[in-house]
Amino acid sequence: MLGGNLLAGSLPVDLYQLQNLSSLDIYQNRFSGSIPPGVGKLGKLKRLLLLSDNYFTREIPPEIGNLTQLVAFNISANWLSGDIPRDLGNCIGLQRLDLSRNQFTGSVPEEIGKLVNVEIPKLSDNRLTGEIPSTLGSLSRLTELQMGGNLFFCELFSLLVCNLSNSNLVGPVPNNPAPRIDSTNFAGNNGSCKSGSYHCHPVIPFPTPNKNRIKESSSRAKLVAIISGAIGLLSLFFIVGICWAMMRRQPAFIPREDETRHDVVDNYYFPKEGFSYNDELLVSTGNFAEDEL
């Protein structure tokens, strides 16, 4: 039991020499890389193979089908991708199967229907497509099926719990699919509807945005922004020009002293050339004679 630690790196090669190992639990660590084919040599694993919450990548090796006595297989919350191996159907002792929260693609293999003892398979939050195999409907011990977050659909009638939410389902949902299944198990499927409802009609797919239209709209927006900026700048220059012209037309300030001095000068008459106030005064007064004063 090595789960819940900070162990890192790839799985050691010597691990596959433990031929009598019956339980392997290394969940919630920092193991990375691919799951080596050597894991298929641990043929006596019976109880657990928990590799969840690590950083494993690439595909599940087909050698996993050699673990026919495995009861629980959990590799959720990793970065595994590719198809689910058909050899997984050879693990007929499986009761718990959790492949959720990875990046598996393709369809669910029909061989999963051979897991006659499986009760809770979890394949949610992957990128699986196509239809869920009808063989899953014949698994008599199946009580819970977690398939949400994928892109497929089928009809299953022997379930107690079935979660197909957020799976892009299209078409009518059965009125009574199972005793413990209600509308919440189909939430997040915009294309689905209640069977028999007058709202149930084919879903018209939303048109994919045209990249050329997006570029054209972006170019128009830039052009409008440039024109608006130019108009605003010209308006600012125009207003500044008007204010400057009005300031130049205002009369210069004249002090009061200058105004008074100007009036005095206007009322003072300067003598013409050759004219003398003294000579004129003597003549007019007769050299200041008493009878002339």
What local confidence, expressed as pLDDT, does residue 127 receive?
Answer: 92
Q: How far, in Å, CA of 263 to CA of 286, rounded?
A: 34
What local confidence, expressed as pLDDT, does residue 242 receive?
Answer: 84
The pLDDT tens digits of the residues spanning 58-70 come to: 999 999 999 999 9
What local confidence, expressed as pLDDT, does residue 221 receive?
Answer: 80
Torsions phi, psi for 291 (to 5 deg): -75, -15
Q: How far, in Å, CA of 205 to CA of 227, rounded?
A: 38
CB under 8 Å, gap of 24 or more: what pairs does 117-123 form?
117/92, 117/93, 117/141, 118/94, 118/142, 119/95, 119/143, 119/144, 120/95, 120/96, 120/144, 120/145, 120/146, 121/97, 121/145, 121/146, 122/76, 122/97, 122/98, 122/146, 123/84, 123/99, 123/147, 123/150
The conformational region for residue 33 under phi > 0 = left, psi -120 to 50 = alpha, else beta, is left
Binning pLDDT at 50, 70 and 90, where does residue 87 land?
A: very high
Torsions phi, psi for 231 (to 5 deg): -60, -45
Count other C-beta atoms under 10 Å from residue 206's C-beta: 7
Mean pLDDT of the chain: 75
- Check: pTM over 0.85? Answer yes or no: no
Mean pLDDT of 151-161: 56
Q: Which has the higher per-residue pLDDT, 98 or 176?
A: 98
Domains of the chain, residue spans:
8-194, 211-285
Among 49, 43, 1, residue whose Cα is nearest residue 19: 43
Task: Assign domain 8-194 to its CATH architecture.
Answer: Alpha-Beta Horseshoe (3.80)
Mean pLDDT of 18-22: 86
| Element spanning 30, H or E | strand 30-34
Binning pLDDT at 50, 70 and 90, where does residue 157 land?
A: very low
What local confidence, expressed as pLDDT, does residue 203 receive?
Answer: 46
What local confidence, expressed as pLDDT, does residue 132 receive?
Answer: 81
